[in-house]
Structure 1
Amino acid sequence: MSADSNKKKIVHAHLPADEEFTTTLTAGSHELLADEPTSVEGGKDKGPDPYDYLLMSLGTCTVMTVKMYANRKGWEVDDMYMELRHNKRHDEDCENCDDPKSKIDVIEKELIIEGDFTQKQLDRMLDISKKCPVHRTLMSDMKIKSFISRK
């Protein structure tokens, strides 16, 4: 979203030896915690889990993108919210499959906008919400290159 969006981003995730899952995340000068819920053995629920962060990333990018669009159009948005849900389910063409591997990840995004808008404006903002950079990244063919090193 920022002007530096084409630069390579570096984020650190540190899981110290004395922690089971509580991980310190740093991005520039910002520090966050991630953890597993207490329902997972060893989880202490000290922070959102990794899928929560994925949804938060998609949600923040989406509302920022829609807000930028609305501002350019001169549309006054009173407030904007995103509710996101993630689950794994069988693809529509595989409703009777018994194989657990046939499930796909599904993210549901609900954009809630307060303001005086026509249905046409709301429909356009919904279209724009699907164009945020994180949404496009998640929907694209992606490569993740993994390396390992020792310290």
Structure 2
Amino acid sequence: MAQSAAGRTLAGKIEQLFDVVRRPDGAAFTNEEVAHACREATGETFSTTYLWQLRTGKRDNPTKRHLEALAQFFQVPPAYFFDDEQSEKLAEELALLGALRDAGVRAIALRAVTLSPDGQAVIRDMVDAIARREGDRTSGRND
């Protein structure tokens, strides 16, 4: 199970942004692309190596301006880095965005949007039942 945003390190929060927020072609941003954009935004030094150190946890005390530049680049509020409650909410939204990159998940979600609340409840129940069944199968239980 994924660790909550509140319990994650700064490096984990930054890594989640790289994992979920993508270029229009679906490819992940590189450290160089992000560092360059952050240099442009702050006018301060923001090297590729420094960003790599933040992502890997080798450095964990960036300036507020650096975090604001990262937030601006990834289009999240700066509170993602500072406020555990806000970070948790955003982590859930980012996880949803990541799941929606899968074409099959996206197609199901788009179809479900047009259903009535009762229809959506039926779909949720079906997904829960299938997930339990598949979980039982992978854990070796065959009821």
TM-score when normalising by structure 2: 0.26
Pick 1 or 2: higher relative contact order, CA cutoff 8 A, min separation 6: 2
**Higher helix proportion, which one?**
2
Larger strand fraction of residues: 1
TM normalised by structure 1 equals 0.25
